[in-house]
């Protein structure tokens, strides 16, 4: 049984550090998330298994960190022109 799956080449992640996005749910309405780091999980063979992004947002004056997948970030990308971060 061959379990060598190399998904690293097929993952198209065009998300840079500093990218800002919003989530689509009602609970997160108005919160602006910022990508601060990329977290990559590899197996013993060195193949990429999972890629997540460390994000921060402000809640009640505190910085809150969360892990988000690329799909969540791409769905909530903010328009770069004409939209403020406040």
- pLDDT tens, 11-65? 556 899 999 999 888 888 789 999 999 999 999 999 999 999 999 999 999 999 9
- pTM to 2 decimal places: 0.71
Measure the CA–CA gap between 45 and 32, rounded to whole angstroms.
37
Side-chain-side CA neighbours of 61 within 13 Å: the count stands at 0
Work out the pLDDT band at 76, boundaries 50, 70, 90. Answer: confident
Q: Which tokens go with 67?
A: 């892990």
């Amino acid at each position: 049984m061959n379990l060598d799956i190399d998904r690293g080449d097929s993952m198209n992640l065009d998300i840079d550090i500093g990218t800002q996005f919003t989530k689509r749910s009602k609970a997160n309405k108005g919160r602006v998330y910022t990508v601060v780091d990329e977290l990559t999980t590899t197996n013993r063979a060195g193949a990429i298994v999972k890629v997540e992004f460390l994000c921060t947002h402000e809640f009640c004056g505190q910085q809150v960190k969360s892990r988000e997948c690329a799909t969540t970030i791409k769905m909530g990308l903010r328009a770069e022109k004409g939209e403020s971060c406040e």
